[in-house]
Amino acid sequence: MNHHSGAWTDQRVEAIIGNLLRAGVLLAAAVVLAGGALFLVRHGSAAPHYAVFQGEPADLRTPSGVLADAVSLRGRGVIQLGLLILLITPVARVAFSVFAFAMQRDLLYVVVTLIVLAVLVFSLAGGAL
């Protein structure tokens, strides 16, 4: 068996997946922290109104709206972007697994992982694909 450094061994795949998950969580935490700081700088002294429930604004209910708010450096948008990154991290892990299994030429796992990826994407899209 050939063990050169470019081989797609189980250990190499597990290491890459571990790093991917770690990086995704750390990036999400950093973005949420930055968004929280932005929000507190701009709105930290505002008194909350507990008498009336106010949900998220309409612009923060879609990924494109969240991205637009984050690019505009609005605190809530940056926080929501961090949460989207956190949500996308396990999906990226499954997508990478498809690639890794394909590199290992393991067709059964490629098919099973593609099914899992399809279910994840369908669920995240609200079942409206």
Buried b (16+ CB within 10 A) or exposed e, 78-104: bbbbbebbbeebebebbbbbbebbeeb
pLDDT value of position 124: 86
pLDDT at 21 (0 to 100): 96
For residue 4, what pLDDT is reported? 54
Give mean pLDDT in consecutive 10-residue pieces for the chain, a chain of 129 residues: 66 94 97 96 83 82 92 94 95 95 94 95 79
The structural domains of the chain, with segments of one domain joined by +, span 10-44+58-124
Phi, psi (degrees; rounded to nearest 5) at 7: -70, 145
**Alpha-helical segments (H) within the chain:** 10-43, 63-71, 75-103, 107-124
Given this model, what pLDDT does residue 1 score? Answer: 44
Q: Which of 85, 68, 86 is nearest to 77 (CA)?
A: 68
Euclidean distance between CA atoms 2 and 9, whole angstroms: 10
Please list, in sequence order, all residues whose beta carbon lies within 8 angstroms of the beta carbon of residue 83, skipping any fewer than 6 positions away.
28, 32
